[in-house]
Amino acid sequence: MTPSTNIADLRKSYEKAELSESASHPDPLKQFDQWLQEAIRSEVPEPNAMTLATVGHDLRPSTRVVLIKGLDERGIVWYTNYQSRKGQDLAGNPFAALQFHWVELERVVRIEGVVEKVSDEESDAYFHSRPLDSRIGAWASPQSEVIEGRSVLVANAAKYGAQFLLRPPRPPHWGGYRLKPEQWQFWQGRKSRLHDRLRYTAQADGGWLRERLAP
């Protein structure tokens, strides 16, 4: 079957911005926050969406999109079902990678590091800030498990909605993860495929080694 569009011919010239050593922050967290804020101000679709990559006990990688919900010097936080595939992967192998792709700004950020659960207090605080439907949904969805149909989710939501009314507690199988970055990469698209690519690697003294990589 011949596709209606030849995907090998799809090309784009990247010419919006540049990324130099002199103009970038020596601290990758500050560089990331600057780019994230610019993505938010530019109203790119879901600037907080990131791809999370994990590796399971079978050594097979898996990716999915999650939403960043916290950022500070301790790392990057998201929330999910601990019994999901990603939760099971992280229980056996706590190393993971994140990627942000802000297409409209021609930018990519890649982050690698070790992952740990956030405290119960942090998970409780975020859970109770969520809309009621989302809190019920955390109970209703046996994430990553096979179900017979959508009716299972609807029935579970009705069941837990009736049980908890307006005050559902945080499920014991639901909470936050924090990735502590050990390496960052910032990619800015440039003309002629000569892209800018800066890598930051954590050092033993707490600082960061910043290096330019060939694209």
pLDDT, one tens digit per residue, over 109-149 is 999 999 999 999 999 999 999 999 999 999 999 999 999 99
> How high does pLDDT run on average in the chain?
96
Closest CA to 170 of 133, 125, 131, 117: 125
Q: What is the pLDDT of residues 21-51, one digit of tens each?
A: 999 999 999 999 999 999 999 999 999 999 9
d(CA 51, CA 110): 9
**pLDDT for res 161:** 96
Q: What percent of the chain has pLDDT over 90?
A: 92
**pLDDT for res 3:** 61
Mean pLDDT of 70-75: 97
Query: With bands split at pLDDT 50, 70 and 90, how would you rate the model's confidence at 153?
Result: very high
The 3-class SS string of the chain reads CCCCCCHHHCCCCCCCCCCCCCCCCCCHHHHHHHHHHHHHHCCCCCCCEEEEEEECCCCCEEEEEEECCEEECCEEEEEEECCCHHHHHHHHCCEEEEEEEEHHHCEEEEEEEEEEECCHHHHHHHHCCCCHHHHHHHHHCCCCCCCCCHHHHHHHHHHHHHHHCCCCCCCCCEEEEEEEEEEEEEEECCHHHCCEEEEEEECCCCCEEEEECCC
Whether pLDDT at 1 is above 70: no
Mean pLDDT of 79-106: 98
Query: Which residues are known catalytic residues?
Result: 193
34, 70, 113, 114, 145 from 90: Cα distances, Å: 29, 19, 12, 9, 17
Q: Burial of 169 by CB count in 10 Å (0-12 exposed, 13-18 middle, 19+ buried)?
A: exposed
Query: With bands split at pLDDT 50, 70 and 90, how would you rate the model's confidence at 12?
Result: confident
**pLDDT for res 7:** 86
Whether pLDDT at 2 is above 70: no
Q: Both tokens of residue 85?
A: 């595939």
Evaluate the CA torsion angle 45, 49, 50, 54 in order and state its sign. Answer: negative
Query: With bands split at pLDDT 50, 70 and 90, how would you rate the model's confidence at 58?
Result: very high
Q: Burial of 203 by CB count in 10 Å (0-12 exposed, 13-18 middle, 19+ buried)?
A: exposed
Closest CA to 140 of 124, 152, 125: 152
**pLDDT for res 11:** 82
**pLDDT for res 4:** 73
pTM equals 0.93
